[in-house]
Amino acid sequence: MTVPATPDGAVPVAPRVHWIGALDPDLRRFDIILRTANGTSYNAYAVRGSQGVAIIDTVKIDFSEAFFGRLESIADYDEITTVVLNHLEPDHSGALPELLRRARRATLLVSPQARLMLNGLFDPADLAGRVAFVGSGDRADLGDRQLQFLNTPYLHWPDTQCTWLAAEGILFSADFLGCHYCDSRLFNDAVGDFRFSFDYYYRHIMRPFGSYVRDALDLIEALPLRVVAPAHGPILRRDPLEYVARYRALAARTVYGAATKTLAVFYVSAYGATRRMAEAVVAGAESASTAAGEVRISLHDLEGGEAAAFVDLIEEADALVFGSPTINGDAVKPVWDLLSSLTVVDLKGKLGAAFGSYGWSGEAVPMIEERLRRLKLRVPLPGVRARLAPTGNDFAACHDLGREISLQLLGRPTPRTFDLAQIS
Amino acid sequence: MPKASITFQDIGVTVTVPAGTRLIEVSEKVGAGIVYGCREGECCTCLTRIVSGHENLAAPSVLEQQVLRDNLAPRRHRLACQAQVLGGCLVVQPA
């Protein structure tokens, strides 16, 4: 079948609300990390009120001509009183400087978190006296209708906000609830099946910000939604709540729930030494896990599984412990393969530790600890290194490491005191 | 040199430090759960709850106050990359 070409002009979304974005059907990779088999769209919108026109988001700079062409088909530049950027990412702000040059009356409305990024992305001269900061509860008056703002940070930029047009029940949701799926029919009840793109986008863009997703859903679920108008992909006018519910499901902790603390121990072992250390860590962790405060503990041989499944485990876990032998001065490849696959999940604040046996120099443990710190885990406990065959003392140290990890997960860390000079 | 003590409640660690030390200079060394982003007082990633001893910290700069306001930080919260302990005891927890 042939997908109809997009009209050159603006596309009505609701009374006095138009899509004025651009289509990029040939894009096959977005921001290095995303495959885009169906291309993408840069959605921008115009909302007309009795006393002015608001433009919500712009497009990637290469698509400015299409954007301005559609805008000019429904509004004069001197009618534009308000420009909203729901976040500053260049694929939505690329046409902003030119828009502000043409729409001389317009004020740019962004969230307070955008304050420190504006001058890094734009020439301050283009913005001088033209910017106002808005947060939850603030409104932009267009005469007979108003735009309201919801502060929804980190979805997926720090400054992300959503814009709500109560008069039509439309939420302009930035990248939230969006996807890379280009189809000139624009609306979810007209385009092809894009469910895989919707889930794929969530898993690669929103997933690391699960707690912020849940906070935003709390705000959005309270709205009488009729349409969700995201910045990429189909406009959700049929059953928009189904997509909100899908996000709720994707963002939920699914295995044990937040109340149960979980520890995952991963290891690779050539001759069994690091494996036996792993078993001692698990035994120690179990010794501190009582009926009054239980930690769910699991032990995984990294050579026996796929990284993707382990990533799911890690997303759910509260503590991660990695065991690796040292081979030629490095931790072994299965460990690095997993530790380089974790940008799609939220690791902030998880507890991390490392252990392993070695023959000569034993670099693996400190290298893993450093990687865990860089991934924003906390690594409060020194790792355990055993030279060649682990001794009873080595196993006791592993046992203590596991026990202390459980105690920390249960909120009962063993008090320790240092002088800064000791640890510098 | 006058000393102060900082307790990182989440890991049960107390560190004796010279007066004037910033939280960022200590928390990473002991593996506390305070996470840093820009390290320059702009991104608010290192927002930290001051459980007790708030009065033992130097007053926030104009920039820190602005960032705390912009990010709707609750009372008794500071940026660990900026907050400087002047003496006494301080107890902190990741926000």
Antiparallel, parallel or unpaired: β A351-358 and A384-387: parallel
A113 contacts B32? CB cut-off 8 A: no
Give residue-wise pLDDT tens across range B4-32: 999 999 999 999 999 999 999 999 889 89
What is the edge-to-edge ordering of all strands in the sheet holding A384-387? Answer: A295-301, A261-267, A319-323, A351-358, A384-387
Diameter of chain A by CA atoms?
80
B31 contacts A380? CB cut-off 8 A: yes
Nearest 5 degrees, angle CA A419-CA B27-CA A315?
Answer: 140
ipTM of the complex as predicted: 0.87
| B60 and chain A in contact, CB less than 8 A | no
Computed over every residue of chain A, the mean pLDDT equals: 93
Phi-psi region of A31 (alpha: psi -120 to 50; beta: other; left: phi over 0): left
Please report, to the nearest 10 degrees, the dihedral formed by the alpha carbons of residues A311, A298, A348, A277 taken in order: -110
As a whole-number percent, the residues of chain A with pLDDT over 70 amount to: 96
Give residue-wise pLDDT tens across range A112-155: 989 888 988 999 998 999 999 999 989 999 999 999 999 999 99
Distance from CA of B33 to the nearest CA of A (A): 5
Structure token pair of residue A206: 């929103």
- DSSP state string for A131-163: EEE--TT-EEE-SS-EEEEEE-TTSSSTT-EEE
Distance from CA of B54 to the nearest CA of A (A): 20
Nearest to B26 among A158, A381, A420 (CB): A420
Q: Please tell me whether residue A124 adopts helix, strand or coil conformation.
A: helix
| B91 and chain A in contact, CB less than 8 A | no
Give residue-wise pLDDT tens across range A302-337: 998 888 889 989 998 999 999 999 999 999 999 999
How far apart CA B35 and CA A375 sit, in angstroms, is 10
A408 contacts B12? CB cut-off 8 A: yes
Matching residue, tokens 């769209």: A41
Distance from CA of B43 to the nearest CA of A (A): 8
Please tell me the pTM assigned to this model: 0.81
How far apart CA A399 and CA A276 sit, in angstroms, is 11
Residue A1 has pLDDT above 50, yes or no: no
| B25 and chain A in contact, CB less than 8 A | yes
pLDDT band at A33 (very low <50, low <70, confident <90, very high): confident
Distance from CA of A74 to the nearest CA of B (A): 35
For chain A, which domains are there? 11-251 (3.60.15.10), 261-409 (3.40.50.360)
Question: How far from B23 is each of A380, A420, B5, B16, CA to CA, in Å?
Answer: 15, 11, 11, 12
Chain A residues within 8 angstroms (CB to CB) of chain B: 112-113, 115-116, 133, 135, 151, 153, 158, 348-349, 373, 376, 378-381, 408, 413-420, 423-424
Residue B71 has pLDDT above 90, yes or no: no
Residues 26-45 of chain B whose Cβ lies under 8 A from any Cβ of chain A: 26, 28-33, 35, 42-44
Neighboring chain B residues of A424 at a CB cutoff of 8 Å: 29
A408 contacts B32? CB cut-off 8 A: no
B13 contacts A417? CB cut-off 8 A: yes
Identity of the residue numbered A67:
F
